[in-house]
Amino acid sequence: MTPKVDLAAIEQVFARLPQHYPGPGGVAGVMVDGRIVARAAWGYADLDSRDPMTAETRLPICSISKQFTCAAMLAACPDLSVLEPGIRAALPNFTGELPGVLDLCHNQSGLRDYWALTVLHGGKAEGAFLRDDAARIMAPMRSGHFAPGTRYSYCNVNYRLLSDLIEEATGIPLDQLYRRHIFDPAGMKTATLTADTRRPEDGVTGYEGNDASGYFPALNGITWTGDAGISASLDDMLAYEGWIDTTRADADSLYRRIAAPQTFRDGTPAEYGFGLRHSTIAGLAVTSHGGALRGFRCHRMNSRDARLSVVVMFNHHGDAHGAALRLMRAGLGETEPTATQIADDWAGQWIGAETGLFTRIEPTRQGATLHFGTGSEGLRAEGATLVSTLARITRDGDALVMQRPQENLTERLLPVTAEPFADPAPLAGCYTSDELGGAEMRIEARDGAGYVWFRGALGEGRVELMRPAAPDLWLIVTRRSMDAPAPGDWTLQLHRDATGAVSGATLGCWLARGIRYDKQP
């Protein structure tokens, strides 16, 4: 029996979207039982020209493209083994166990994300990134930050590599494969591959900023394909959701195939596979994915059992995921979790024993905030445990144990003593990384503060700020990069020789961990 969807609750949330998620413009749609029950566009596609946002305006769907890449691969390459040799060709310097095709599809490859690595290769946020630049970043890779199949880590390079493998194996450009296997069958009449983000479709402009700072056009220079790149209108995306609903009972349909639950190699269920995230809302299975480019945010969700689909797209940095989740919860009758007060003694900072990432917990009026991955996570108390949508944290003496089921990771967090001031002078100098093909990190001590910049395959980047976190532990803050969102805080752990002098460092963020640098004389 199909669960009943609360249409009145959806309508109430839907009507408030423009005010709850303010910005230049947006579109949203909801489909129930194969028919559109809500469809709206508001605001402007471009503030200067005053062109209105419409349901026909094509917007970048960004990382939602990943599921299309995986579906096109399954349709065009029945024997995935033909793609395997291309992985070695793309990673000629890799010394560890190579990931397989399915490791790439499920974000279990262990490869470091190449958009994070653009920072370390000297890429500037608005700089050009051409198709050949991807190979220049992939080729020097010598290792991953975990063994293939053992963990989950979001990694755009997985799908960029997949797109190259698919085109080489079939001899057909990816945009034609999308059209043949998905766009045309689904009735996505205007969807297209817009690999060059400098030239968005229909003159749409994406905006950075917010109500407090104002909105200004976002400048992008990325050329991407496979990991992102599709542009589609709201009507295109609703046609896609309708196609999913029409084929929901066909076990051989492309969406049913990419929506099949996956596991890690140890048999543990995985919450991500074939470019789709798996979750549960109101006890029902939901498949979803979001997308982000500077100036754009989007999200889609589908509950096959409830026959409910939600699509939200903004040309600004509004919380598209939050909007889609609110609509889905309203339709399925699930209330939002209640924030709970968290004791101040949870506040502190730690270092991850496996990931080497700096972690901190900050109590707030609504609970607490966990800083670990690319962004902050809201925490609430459940007895003696702190819980976010991604983590469960318990005490173990002075240490903490953080379980992250989606990542198949149980991380022991070791306490570190805060160090509000440290002299950056001993760090100053040039460091090089074999992992990055000799790319350089230069640290400068200037007027009592620490600064760093990177040089590599993409040139020389702009100066980033450093701040001390604990003894021999510094944070490098990256708030803007080629991709969006930016990597966030990088953890820099110093290494010292027998004399106590700084000899090197390990640098990492959630997207790209454990990168060794050696200090040059």
Q: 66 in helix, strand or coil?
A: helix
Q: Is the dihedral of CA 230, 231, 234, 240 positive or negative?
A: negative
Whose tokens are 């002098």? That residue is: 501
Residue type, 277: R
Q: Can 66 be counted among the known catalytic residues?
A: yes
* C-beta of residue 110 within 8 angstroms of C-beta of residue 171: no
Q: In terms of Cα–Cα distance, which of 205, 134, 124, 140 is closest to 460? A: 124
The tokens of 91 are what? 């990673």
Active-site position among 49, 65, 66, 124: 66
Phi-psi region of 481 (alpha: psi -120 to 50; beta: other; left: phi over 0): beta
Active-site position among 4, 49, 63, 231: 63
d(CA 284, CA 305): 7
Residue type, 256: R
The b-or-e profile of 226-256 (16+ CB within 10 A means b, else e) is bbbbbbbbbbbbbbbbbbbbebbeeeebbbe
Helix (H) or strand (E) holding 254, with range, is helix 254-258
d(CA 97, CA 500): 35
* C-beta of residue 165 within 8 angstroms of C-beta of residue 86: yes
* C-beta of residue 26 within 8 angstroms of C-beta of residue 18: yes
Largest CA distance in the chain: 72
d(CA 117, CA 140): 11
C-beta neighbour count of 83 within 10 angstroms: 21
Tell me which residues are annotated as active site.
63, 66
